[in-house]
């Protein structure tokens, strides 16, 4: 099969439809070329995406010479020891298992009162500053940043620094030098924190240091992954979910009338919004026939598009519509397979508490600017809003 065309990733979204996957992804799976001309499969259907993410013939190891990267500079930045997100078993499992107990359902449930306090305090501060406010900077980012800082043992006072570097790191439009600079700064920052934690048993970073069998680079790489994944994803889900509910006021009213719907509503928002919108990358270790004419050759990259998989009409009837009362639990918003999001219990708890509290405490919440004026992070690996001006 010949390469069809080059696809810009992440793709732009259709005007007026900020919640729908880019039109360029809404197609059958196809072989395309990446920005550097390398061949790469775009996999868009639920069954194919799920199959690849559970198939060990597809590698997540970013050190593989043909691993697909979405922007320049990323390949060069992969060191000897990537984070566990970009490794295969047994290396992946070894690192991941060092952190699994911090994200157990019971452990996260025990954190709920503390999360509720953070949510209430953050909302108190936003309300005290007066209407209107930018929900992104006043609420959506502070809540998960405070939670993950506490869990990792990172000072929240540094949030402006790590949020800014995180934005540079996830922005595919930035040149390679900016990406490398952001990596260097964040890695240096976390290496310093890890060094200071030697012997102090508070937080995940201290725990990783105390094990004694990880290099400073390994602690920094995995700490960086948790720090970024711990706030960027939940923050963007919080602001985008709020906008989706403001655009579907009848469903927001249903949630206010029956708060027990919040858990299902969060699953549906995760499915409908799927903020990991540029796809999950893998490289084939051998030829794999995925059916429907998709034969991935050994060494070829694939991008598993979670956003289109989560709109699969066979699995989710009327999948392009938000329906907080549907059963959406089979969504792939956290990925699938052994790499499925480690922090998903925490993400769920934060979203459930942050959204339910916002709806309850600010029943008159509404957009403070016309919907058409909102601006989105289309070039970032994690989709979201730049600002969300709201009033109440």
Partner 1 sequence: MTVDQDRCCSSGQCVLTAPTVFDQSEEDGLVVLLQDRPDASLAPQLRTAAALCPGGAISLAEVAR
Which region, judged by CB under 8 A, interacts with partner 1, from 8-16, 149-157, 205-213, 335-343?
Answer: 335-343
Specify whether the CB–CB gap between 137 and 387 falls below 8 A: yes
Nearest approach, Cβ of residue 102 and partner 1 (Å): 9
Pick from 344, 378, 386, 387: which binds partner 1 (CB under 8 A)?
344
Pick from 73, 132, 299, 345: which binds partner 1 (CB under 8 A)?
345
Pick from 41, 46, 67, 103: which binds partner 1 (CB under 8 A)?
103
Pick from 159, 247, 256, 330: which binds partner 1 (CB under 8 A)?
330
Nearest approach, Cβ of residue 105 and partner 1 (Å): 4
Specify whether the CB–CB gap between 322 and 272 falls below 8 A: yes
Q: Using the rule CB under 8 A, is 110 a contact of partner 1?
A: no
Would you say 295 or 338 has its CB closer to partner 1?
A: 338
Size of the site for partner 1 (CB under 8 A): 24
Question: Tokens representing 63?
Answer: 């050190």
Question: Tokens representing 208?
Answer: 């990783």
| Strands across the sheet containing 389-391 | 133-134, 389-391, 366-367
Contacts (CB under 8 A) with partner 1, residues 270-329: 329
Q: Using the rule CB under 8 A, is 215 a contact of partner 1?
A: no
Q: Using the rule CB under 8 A, is 338 a contact of partner 1?
A: yes
In a 10 Å sphere around its CB, with 0-12 CB exposed, 13-18 middle and 19+ buried, how is residue 211 labelled?
A: exposed
Measured CA to CA, the distance from residue 62 to residue 101 in angstroms comes to 26
Q: Using the rule CB under 8 A, is 26 a contact of partner 1?
A: no
Pick from 67, 141, 272, 336: which binds partner 1 (CB under 8 A)?
336
- What sign has the CA pseudo-torsion 371, 375, 379, 381? negative
Which region, judged by CB under 8 A, interacts with partner 1, from 101-109, 115-123, 280-288, 295-303?
Answer: 101-109
Beta strands in the chain (DSSP E): 30-33, 39-43, 58-59, 133-134, 280-284, 288-289, 295-296, 301-304, 366-367, 389-391
Would you say 123 or 356 has its CB closer to partner 1?
A: 356
Length of the chain equals 392
User: Using H for helix, E for strand and C for coil, what is the string for 332-387?
Assistant: CCCCCHHHCCCCHHHHHHHHHHHHHHHHHHCCCCEECCCHHHCCECCCECECCECC
Measured CA to CA, the distance from residue 304 to residue 254 in angstroms comes to 34
Pick from 4, 17, 23, 105: which binds partner 1 (CB under 8 A)?
105
Nearest approach, Cβ of residue 68 and partner 1 (Å): 22
Per-residue mark of binding to partner 1, 48-77 (x: CB under 8 A): -----xx-----------------------
Measured CA to CA, the distance from residue 287 to residue 285 in angstroms comes to 7
Nearest approach, Cβ of residue 94 and partner 1 (Å): 12
DSSP conformational letter for 315: T
Which region, judged by CB under 8 A, interacts with partner 1, from 93-101, 185-193, 296-304, 375-383?
Answer: 93-101
Q: Using the rule CB under 8 A, is 230 a contact of partner 1?
A: no
Specify whether the CB–CB gap between 77 and 183 falls below 8 A: yes
Pick from 3, 6, 101, 215: which binds partner 1 (CB under 8 A)?
101
Task: Summarize as ranges the residues that interact with partner 1 (CB under 8 A).
Answer: 53-54, 93, 96-97, 100-101, 103-106, 329-330, 334-342, 344-345
């Amino acid at each position: 099969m010949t390469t069809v065309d080059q696809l810009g990733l992440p793709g732009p979204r259709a005007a007026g439809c900020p919640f729908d996957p880019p039109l360029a992804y809404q197609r059958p799976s196809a072989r395309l070329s990446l920005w550097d001309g390398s061949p790469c499969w775009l996999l868009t259907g639920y069954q194919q995406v799920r199959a690849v993410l559970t198939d060990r013939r597809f590698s997540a190891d970013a050190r593989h010479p043909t691993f697909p990267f979405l922007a320049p500079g990323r390949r060069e930045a992969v060191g000897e020891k990537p984070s566990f997100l970009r490794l295969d078993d047994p290396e992946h499992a070894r690192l991941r298992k060092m952190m699994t107990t911090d994200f157990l359902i019971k452990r996260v449930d025990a954190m709920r009162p503390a999360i509720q306090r953070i949510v209430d305090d953050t909302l108190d501060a936003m309300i005290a500053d007066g209407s209107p406010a930018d929900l992104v900077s006043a609420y959506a980012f502070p809540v998960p940043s405070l939670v993950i800082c506490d869990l990792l043992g990172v000072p929240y006072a540094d949030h402006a620094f790590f949020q800014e570097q995180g934005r540079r790191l996830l922005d595919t439009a930035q040149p390679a030098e900016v990406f490398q600079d952001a990596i260097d700064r964040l890695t240096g920052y976390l290496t310093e924190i890890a060094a200071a934690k030697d012997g102090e048993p508070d937080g995940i970073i201290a725990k990783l240091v105390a094990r004694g069998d990880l290099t400073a680079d390994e602690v920094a790489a995995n700490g960086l992954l948790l720090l970024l994944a711990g706030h960027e994803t939940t923050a963007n889900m919080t602001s985008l979910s709020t906008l989706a509910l403001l655009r579907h006021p009848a469903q927001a009213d249903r949630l206010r009338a029956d708060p027990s719907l919040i858990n299902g509503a969060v699953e549906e928002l995760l499915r409908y919004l799927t903020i990991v919108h540029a796809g999950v990358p893998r490289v084939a270790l051998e030829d794999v026939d995925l059916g429907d004419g998709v034969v991935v050759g050994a060494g070829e990259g694939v991008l598993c598009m979670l956003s289109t998989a989560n709109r699969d009409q066979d699995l989710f009837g009327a999948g392009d519509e938000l329906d907080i009362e549907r059963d959406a639990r089979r969504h792939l918003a956290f990925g699938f397979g052994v790499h499925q999001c480690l922090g998903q219990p925490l993400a769920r708890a934060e979203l459930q508490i942050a959204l339910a509290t916002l709806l309850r405490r600010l029943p008159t919440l509404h957009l403070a600017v016309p919907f058409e004026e909102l601006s989105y992070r289309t070039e970032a690996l994690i989709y979201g809003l730049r600002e969300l001006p709201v009033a109440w």
